[in-house]
Each structure stands twice: as C-alpha cells, then as structure tokens.
Structure 1
Amino acid sequence: MLVHIEPPISPSTAHAIALYCAGSYVGSLYLSRNARLSFKRESAPNLRDGQQRAKEHDERWRDDPDVIRARFIAAGTSTLSSCGVLLGLIWRPLGWHTHGFGAAIENTLHRLGLTLPSSISEIILPCLVTPVLFLGPIYAQYLAGALPGQRHWSWHWSVRPLIWTWQGWRNILFGPITEEIVFRACTIAVYHAAGASTTKMIFLTPLIFGLAHAHHAWEIFNRYGRTAAAAKRALLTITIQLSYTSLFGFHAAFLFLRTGSLLAPITAHMFCNLMGLPQIDAQIAAFPHRRRAIQFTYISGILGYVYTMRHWTLVNDSFYWPTAGAQRFY
C-alpha cells in the first residue's frame, strides 16, 4: 500500500531554488572581470558567409586560457553555493539538535548522487548506456581509423588536447562535473523534495539546462562579425544547442533518477562532449561504400539504447526510484 507523505517544500520554493542554481552558475561567469568576455564593437561586414573573424589582441574570447581559469573559479564557487543551499534545505527539517550537522551533510551527498551503488555491475552498466547509443558514430570513427590503436589515432593529437589543455579540462572534466551537480543533482533534488513526479523531473528540469546555454549566442554573434548573417548563425546555433542539450538532459535525468548516482550522468556528459553531435550524412558521404553498414549501426545503437536504458540502469534501493513503497522525501 502506498503511503502519502506531504512534501516538505512547495513547488514555488523549488522553482526559486532551481532558478537560483541556474542563474548563479551562468551569472558567475559574468560577475568576475577576468571571467567576462570582451569583443570589439565594430561589425565586420566583409566576412564571407560562415567565416569567423580574427581575434583582436585586446579581446577576451571563451577559449582564452585566462578566461577558462577565471571561469573555473567562478563556476566552482557557484556550484558549492548551490550545494550549500541544498544542505541548508535538508538541515532545517532534520534539525541540528535532533540529528546533527554530520547527518545533514551525509543526506545532502546522498541526494546529490555523490555516492556509488553497492555492486560493480550497477556502477559499470549505467555508464555503458551512452556508448551503446553512439554505436553508429563509433563505427564511423572505426572506418576513419580514429579509434585507439588505429592508424589515425595518436597520443599527441587524440589524447593530449583533452587532458593537457585548458579547453580539454573544461569540456571533458570540469564542465561535465559542475554542470551535472548543479543542473541535474541540485535541480532534481529540490523538485523531488517538492513532490514533483518522475515524468516532470525527467522532462522539465532539463529545459533549465538547455536555456542556461542561451548566453553563448552573444559570443557567436560577436565572433562572426556582429552582422545580420552573424545574428542568424547565432540564432540557428543556439536553437540546435538548446534542442541537443535538452535531449541530453532527458537522458541524464533518467540515468540520475534510476541509479541515484551522478556517476552515469557525468560520464555520459563527458562522452557526449568528446563525441560531439552525430553526423550520419557526413559519415555516409565520407564512406559511401559502407552506407548500409553505417545506417545499420545507427539503428542498432538506438535499439540497443532502448534496451539498455531499461535493463542496465535500475539499481537496488535507488533513493529517487524506489522499487516499492511510498516516494521518499527525507
């Protein structure tokens, strides 16, 4: 028999906290002078369509190492702040004198998914779901000889840029970790405390994650010359990015809820940043004699994804996806 338990916070409180988490993360990138971008104000009308203009010496662009370092500090501080808000939310109903501050911290870490499932299979299998979905792109990389150990793969060109550059650390390590803590764990935790349904947490919370990327439009508009063509490019890019990040958010939210751990969402985020958007048309054009094989692996990846999302993700005693009994808030 299901037992009804009144949620400890209201939906409006959950909305406010979720907006704070997202707003502070994005806003932190612009509060610090060193983290802000700067562009020249003049347009560059002589650029060919699709051409990016050259960077001026006194400008600050997103991939500048000093900008990345400053944003590491800003985003890291914001991430800790969001975790602190969740800790305060949990500490209040637990009570300092009743359970102690240590219990509140333990509860917070549990809700943030900063714990691991009990068995090795429950740790590994959810992390393999995303690579299964990318079976088609992985096969295309195999055809191109770009997988580890193949002729076009090398430590210097294939690995070093990912682990030995500021851009690589941002894209593969720091960005996925902080964004999943803020936009997945913190957001879902507060909506769960407000009694939101599983469907809403999977399909509505990722929209915040998608909208948080809209600020990149200003950078694209400036990098491509501040012209009408640049504005169209920025709008198109952000629309595609919003769609992709929202779709990924649905996937990551499901992984988080099913496993109760951030490990699978973080590794999925890292893997997707590494692979980029699937480009089946370009891959078929590059290897027309393998057209059917590429199509088959793409379809197989989708079918395998449907199967593995159901059978490889459910773990025993997941806090957010209990197999029986009432929904748990505290």
Structure 2
Amino acid sequence: MSENHEGDPDSGLCRVSILCCLTLACSYVGSLYVWKSDLPRDHPAVIKRRFTSVLIVSSLSPLFLSVWKELTGIKTDAAFLSLMGFRLECILTATVLPLLLTMILFLGPLVQLSMDCPWDFLDGLKVAFDPRFWILCITDMRWLRNQVIAPLTEELVFRACMLPMLVPCTSPGTAIFTCPLFFGIGHIIGPVLCHSFCNYIGFPAIFTALDHPQRITILIFYILGVVLFFLLLNPMTDPALYGDIPICYLLERESVDHRSLCS
C-alpha cells in the first residue's frame, strides 16, 4: 500500500517524474553518440562500442528510480525489482499472451514471409533446433543488437524504470502510452519478446505485398490480423491474467483495491 502523498500537479510529483524520465531517456540516447566515428552504424566496431554505452546506462537506470523514490518520498510494500516488472508470478501468461497478440497483429507479414520462405515447415524446425544456427546468430553483431541488446535495454530503461515513475502522477493507462514518447526522444519479459519479434519482422512491407503474386490472400491476412488484434486486445491484456501488478501499489488509494485501479 502506498502512503498518502500530494499527487496534484502543484506538489511537484509530476514535474520530478517527468524530469527523471527525460534525464534517463537523454542519457540512454546520448550514450549512443558519445563515440565519434565515420564508420556506418552497422559496422561491428560501432555496434560493440554502443553495446558498452547502453549496457552501462541500462545497468545504472534502476538508480534513477531509486533517486525518484527519494525525491518524491513515495513508499510502497512492493519489492523494488517487482516495481520494475521482475517477478515470477504469472510468468507463463506474461510471456505467451503479449507475444501471441503481437504475432496476430503481424499476421499478414508472417503469411507473406512464409510464402516467400524457401524452406518448408520441417526444414524450418531443423534449423531452429540446430545449435550451429544459434551460434551463428549470437556471433552476428547486428542480430545480437536487434534481437537481444536493443529490446532488453530499451524495455529496461523506457518501461521497467519509467512506468513506476509515471504511474503515481497519471494512471496506468496514461503511463503506458506516455513511455513511448520518452522512447521517441531516445518492455518485463513479454514486452522484450514482442520488441525483439517486431525488430525481426520489421515494418510491414505493404507495397511489396501489393505486388506479390498472392496479394489477395496476403491482404486478407493483413486485414484479418488487424481486426483480430483489436478484438483480442482487451481480453488478452486483462490485468486479471497477470496476477498482482506491483506498480498499482504506487497509486493513491483510500478503500479501493489496487486491482480495480489497474483494470
């Protein structure tokens, strides 16, 4: 349960929260540009240097949350790591459902990808379970950046550390939609996987789909994916499916259960 605090804008809570989030966002983005180089961004040397920078900022990002708690005087019964999203409760649903919902949204690109893939299903499974394939992946700096380092560090900084700072002065819904704005200036197992998946698929190649020999089928799946996404969004993101949500303890409450505040 959170202790009572002055949560109105005049109390300075929101100003402190926004300032901390802005500082954290600028620190993350700034760390990418501290290295001066004429090499392209996909050069292994550039990627390794940026790995070092973002890993340092990401490892220090929980300190921003700690400082924010000290500046605002907010106290909560929830464990510090739990506030950041590190918990085992409902880990299966938190892993599967967000990723499945994201894959539904990308149904059109996935169908297009499967049509253009030279492998059949069994060949794909053989590759997926081949250790040599994964060794090749993790030794590829671009793959490691797009599928591991970027999703993990960005979700840690822009979601795990920023959401707790924004929730007390806004609401869970507003905070969730505000975090990407700080990301624009510059997710936790579920958001990390979804982030990695989106990096892998990339932006839907709609114009390529229009020129595809099977464009009617692909466009049907594009539309179907978007429709199913909006139909399934509320039921698959129902807070009841994800257990006790620690950041909800940061909300002021008098006699209202924190679950209802986050539903």
TM class, shorter-length? 0.7 to 0.9
Determine if contact 1:117/1:123 at 8 Å carries over to the other structure.
Answer: no
**In the alignment, which of 312, 316, 319 is matched to residue 246 of structure 2?**
319
- Mind listing any 5+ residue stretches in structure 1 that lack a counterpart? 40-59, 213-251, 253-261
Aligned-pair Cα RMSD in Å: 3.3
More helix by share: 2
Deviation string for 1:118-141 (max 9, x for gaps)? 363344222211111111111001
- Mind listing any 5+ residue stretches in structure 2 that lack a counterpart? 250-255
Aligned-residue offset at 1:148: 6.8
**Equivalence for 2:191:** 265
**Equivalence for 1:77:** 56
Instruction: Tell me the percent identity.
Output: 27
**In the alignment, which of 196, 199, 222 is matched to residue 170 of structure 2?**
196
Whole-angstrom CA distance in 1 between matches of 2:90 and 2:112? 36
Aligned-residue offset at 1:86: 0.8
Aligned-residue offset at 1:309: 2.0
**Equivalence for 2:162:** 187
Q: Give the aligned residue type for 1:309.
A: L
- Cα 1:94/1:17, change in 2 over 3 Å: closer
Deviation string for 1:33-74 (max 9, x for gaps)? xxx2423xxxxxxxxxxxxxxxxxxxx221222222221111
- Cα 1:77/1:122, change in 2 over 3 Å: closer
**Equivalence for 1:170:** 145
**Equivalence for 2:184:** 210
How is 1:1-330 mapped onto 2 (pairs within 5 angstroms)? Answer: 6-7=6-7, 10-31=13-34, 36-39=35-38, 60-90=39-69, 93=73, 107-118=79-90, 120-145=92-117, 149=121, 155=127, 162-193=137-168, 195-212=169-186, 262-287=188-213, 290-314=214-238, 315-320=242-247, 325-326=257-258
- Cα 1:268/1:147, change in 2 over 3 Å: farther
Whole-angstrom CA distance in 1 between matches of 2:92 and 2:176? 25
Aligned-residue offset at 1:198: 3.3
Whole-angstrom CA distance in 1 between matches of 2:189 and 2:85? 8
Deviation string for 1:254-285 (max 9, x for gaps)? xxxxxxxx111111100000000101220231
Q: What's the TM-score, normalizing by structure 1?
A: 0.64
Deviation string for 1:206-244 (max 9, x for gaps)? 1221232xxxxxxxxxxxxxxxxxxxxxxxxxxxxxxxx
The 10-residue stretch of structure 1 (196-205 or 303-312) with the greater mean CA deviation from structure 2: 196-205
Determine if contact 1:162/1:168 at 8 Å carries over to the other structure.
Answer: yes
Q: What's the TM-score, normalizing by structure 2?
A: 0.78
SS in 2 for 1:286: coil
SS in 1 for 2:32: helix
Determine if contact 1:116/1:123 at 8 Å carries over to the other structure.
Answer: no
Aligned-residue offset at 1:298: 0.8
Whole-angstrom CA distance in 1 between matches of 2:120 and 2:163? 36
What is the aligned length?
242
Q: Give the aligned residue type for 2:165.
A: V
Determine if contact 2:17/2:68 at 8 Å carries over to the other structure.
Answer: no
Aligned-residue offset at 1:9: 6.2
- Cα 1:37/1:275, change in 2 over 3 Å: farther
Aligned-residue offset at 1:301: 0.8
Q: Give the aligned residue type for 1:317.
A: D
